[in-house]
Structure 1
């Protein structure tokens, strides 16, 4: 099994760890692993880990396809990649008969969707982006089967690579978030909540405007480079905005249980955060785009808004108290880790038997 790079455990890393639990004896490979990555994992690094490129994904990007073609001389029957950049292009010369399966978090957004991910949008990057796109398609023709984490990503795989993919939603630890202490279950839900990395496309600026328009206090949990700008924006509105910087997992669960609603006005590939919130019985008010359309049932487990206008979200927020929180939790259970692993096991069996 291969994964791009292994950093401090986030969404794609958690998926990779869950994949490995399905086939615990599989060898694990990564381009490199960060020093703060979870210890005790048996992962072999590529030669890129011994170069300065490991410190800069921009420098490493053109070298990644070569690294995946020269990863190891060991022989394998099946190679499963967890890919959001070039891991799906892995091909081992030592294993000419191997079957290649790839779980796609998204085709590299800075290559294929620069309007969505600004890291690749600069005009001077047009030619390098075109060359890397061509390489991305050419070097992945050998993949025998793709799985996508959502309909959104399935559509991109078809559009960008001309390939079909089955959908296997990523694993969410719904049991952990649903099993809140009794004291948390009884607490009143008194604020709106935003969770995630504080970067522009996550739209925490819009969350602040929504809370202001609705007249509700807001809690923002996470961290990121937009913190100073968000604090300045929060200081200019009429409602209280509280920042929870890098909350622990236990603290995040407390925040979900104490929120009247999770705000999610962003276009995500899938979106694990809304499912975590729903596991706590917390409804979601989000943008009618991307993966949230597969997790939130409009009018039952939350509300979806086809707009960036804060007043539209504020209008939806007036109705969240009427939703059945037991039904919201039941919806979240469909995305449990056990469901993911069962579907992965069937996928691997179908493609290798």
Structure 2
């Protein structure tokens, strides 16, 4: 990749940078492929694990503390940020794809069109009443101010379809990189069910508690978030692991009977990490899981919220082969991402 863009001024652009989650990891992975590229974000938190980040003027306002309030101004922030580059690569899940790229070749990797704007029912956080009035304007701005994008990539077929439906544009699917080498390990047990992620409503950790109860198995919830108190009040046979290290998370994956994932995700990195440890996934038959789980081989999917159905699928995982599960997870590693990104960027800049 560095050779492909050698001698060219390149900028990599991302939304806010408050923690290292799925989209931030993709942004850093893209930047690592192009070491000489400038890095631009709306704002970065003081403890952001990344250096040399150029911030927009939103970083100097109190709005950085509230994404919902800042959202209507994000297109303006990107349009008034002039980036001096010949190639701009945006990592977008809100409005980064509307950045003022000038005469540069603009390529946009999309995690999802902004849920708050296009799919408020998908994620309850988008139902903020403050967004009701500006939503139509934001939809118009999202389309009209991104017509200069030369090529789109989507992190999944699910997002590819949203780009086609909302923006009327085609996109190449490039799955995000997963650290499968780190999480690849031997199974150490099958004593409990596991849920991993941010404890927010749409992730359905409440349903995981019901599934574990129906299956008669203990449950470990690893992560953190605003739903912690409610989940602790609901869960009886539940162990909470707050913000575990990666090493601890690998141990949890290896010892679980199955990872529960009854949520509609754009892609879903956690299920791939679990499979890298040989652990099957029992989840919702929607979104990214349709691309990352092979039903009957690496897990089972169900299009329901009935915990008894999921409990039955948990029982069926006893017949799955951990070696086959690990082999499948290996197809989502960093090397595959780098190769696909290099191919996509090469085609788009030539």
Runs ≥4 residues deviating over 4 A? none
Take 1:120 and 1:221, find their aligned partners in 2: how far apart are those partners? 24
For 1:226, the equivalent position in structure 2 comes to: 227
Cα RMSD between the aligned structures?
A: 1.2
For 1:2, the equivalent position in structure 2 comes to: 13
Structure 1 residues 199-210: aligned runs within 5 Å: 199-210=200-211
Structure 1 residues 283-298: aligned runs within 5 Å: 283-298=280-295
Q: CA deviation at 1:75?
A: 2.5
1:108 aligns with 2:114: yes
The runs of 5 or more residues in structure 1 that have no matched partner are none
Q: CA deviation at 1:55?
A: 1.8
Instruction: Call closer, same or farther: CA 1:3–1:123 in 2, change over 3 Å.
Output: closer
1:86 aligns with 2:95: yes
User: What TM-score do the two structures reach when normalised by structure 2?
Assistant: 0.94
Q: CA deviation at 1:67?
A: 1.3
For 2:240, the equivalent position in structure 1 comes to: 243
Take 1:124 and 1:224, find their aligned partners in 2: how far apart are those partners? 22
For 1:71, the equivalent position in structure 2 comes to: 81
Take 1:166 and 1:186, find their aligned partners in 2: how far apart are those partners? 35
Instruction: Call closer, same or farther: CA 1:32–1:151 in 2, change over 3 Å.
Output: same
Count of aligned pairs: 339
Structure 1 residues 160-309: aligned runs within 5 Å: 160-178=166-184, 180=185, 185=186, 187-235=188-236, 240-309=237-306
Instruction: Call closer, same or farther: CA 1:23–1:136 in 2, change over 3 Å.
Output: same
Task: Check the 8 A contact 2:196/2:222 in 1, yes or no.
Answer: yes
For 1:340, the equivalent position in structure 2 comes to: 337
Task: Check the 8 A contact 2:187/2:254 in 1, yes or no.
Answer: no
Take 1:143 and 1:285, find their aligned partners in 2: how far apart are those partners? 37
User: What TM-score do the two structures reach when normalised by structure 1?
Assistant: 0.94
Task: Check the 8 A contact 1:288/1:304 in 2, yes or no.
Answer: yes
Task: Check the 8 A contact 2:124/2:201 in 1, yes or no.
Answer: no
Task: Check the 8 A contact 1:263/1:286 in 2, yes or no.
Answer: yes
Q: What is the CA deviation profile of residues 149-172 of structure 1, one whole-angstrom value per residue up to 9, with x for unaligned ones? A: 001100100000111100000000
Deviates more, 1:119-128 or 1:299-308: 119-128
